[in-house]
């Protein structure tokens, strides 16, 4: 099973940046391949190369408290902690949903499954310095509906905001059936050489100002039952950012909010707001970066997103 999944999640996402992601995936996966407690990679929250990642909850030790709120409409908790990166302490944040959010693979019925048939040959012919992992499925789309149709998860409730769309992309990963438990493989009638879909994400980047640097992103994550570890979670490495946690209830849903201030940045968008939610076994993350001048506008957009769920 792969050890990490990298998806650009914040800020400006255009064709050039998407190509950079593809080119950097191999080297960054190699860098974290020894992290046995993680089934996904790490995430950099600074603005052009930051990545959100889903990681399994198994045995990742964190120092720090948990922002666990009351029950009701809350779908998960947020843990703020610390990690050591080669002697450099970094702040971490993890959104951990209540319960198991893995889905039955048969519920993902879109054309993304067609790419799995190509994986055995891609893996056999893979070279050490290929730009893209052979079990990765990267696609870009013109519209959100095109991306949703490509994935084909009928229970998906994807929030919509009426802003200019910069980028729509999906990222999926296959896992070799040979890596599954024999009983699981036999029950599904899988050939050991076949590949099955382990997880997929849909990311949408939109402008909230005319300047291309002022963007927000919505990401929806799906993990299938073929991801062994549960529950899954969103894991972020926040450099040396100051953090504050909050919650807000909108239409019966209590959203988990993380606000960060990366004070060691000399200039630019030091501030960020992330909002987390889980519904229909889909993990959602909204992320917007801004400076002090745009604080009110950014918070308004985040509030719009929370109100956009039907």
Residue 229 in tokens: 């570890």
Q: Is residue 250's pLDDT more than 80?
A: yes
DSSP state letter for 147 = H
* Average pLDDT estimate for 52-59: 27
Round to whole Å and give the CA distance between 1 and 192. Answer: 14
pLDDT of the residue at 297? 95
Average pLDDT, the chain: 76
Q: What does DSSP say about strands 102-103 and 242-250: parallel, antiparallel, or unpaired?
A: unpaired
The CB-side HSE value for 264 (13 A sphere, CA atoms) comes to: 8
Round to whole Å and give the CA distance between 178 and 279. Answer: 31
pLDDT of the residue at 87? 73
* 96 band by pLDDT with thresholds 50, 70 and 90: very high
Residue 211 in tokens: 């300047």
Model's pTM, two decimal places? 0.76
Q: From the CB of residue 31, how many other CB atoms can be counted at a distance below 10 Å?
A: 12
- Where in the chain are the domains? 7-307
For the stretch 261-277, pLDDT in tens is: 987 655 667 899 999 99
């Amino acid at each position: 099973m792969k050890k990490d999944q990298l998806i650009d999640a914040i800020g400006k996402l255009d064709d050039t940046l998407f190509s950079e992601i593809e080119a950097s995936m191999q080297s960054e996966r190699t860098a974290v391949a020894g992290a046995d407690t993680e089934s996904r990679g790490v995430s950099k929250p600074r603005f052009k190369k930051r990545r959100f990642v889903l990681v399994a909850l198994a045995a990742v030790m964190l120092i720090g408290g948990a922002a666990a709120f009351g029950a009701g409409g809350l779908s998960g908790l947020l843990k703020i902690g610390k990690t050591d990166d080669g002697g450099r302490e970094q702040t971490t944040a993890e959104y951990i949903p209540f319960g198991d959010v893995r889905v039955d693979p048969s519920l993902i019925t879109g054309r993304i499954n067609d790419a799995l048939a190509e994986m055995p040959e891609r893996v056999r012919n893979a070279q050490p310095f290929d730009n893209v992992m052979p079990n990765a499925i990267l696609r870009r789309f013109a519209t959100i509906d095109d991306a949703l149709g490509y994935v084909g998860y009928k229970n998906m409730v994807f929030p919509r905001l009426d802003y200019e769309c910069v980028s729509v992309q999906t990222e999926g990963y296959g896992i070799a059936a040979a890596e599954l438990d024999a009983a699981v493989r036999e029950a599904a009638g899988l050939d050991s050489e076949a590949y099955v879909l382990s997880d997929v994400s849909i990311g949408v980047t939109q402008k909230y100002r005319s300047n291309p640097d002022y963007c927000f992103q919505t990401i929806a994550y799906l993990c299938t039952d073929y991801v062994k570890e549960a529950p899954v979670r969103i894991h972020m490495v926040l450099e040396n950012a100051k953090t504050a946690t909050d919650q807000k209830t909108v239409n019966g849903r209590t959203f988990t909010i993380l606000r960060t201030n990366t004070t060691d940045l000399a200039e630019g968008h030091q501030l960020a707001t992330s909002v987390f939610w889980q519904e229909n076994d889909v993990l959602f993350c909204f992320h917007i970066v801004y400076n002090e001048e745009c604080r009110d506008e950014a918070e308004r957009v985040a509030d719009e997103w929370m109100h956009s769920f039907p």
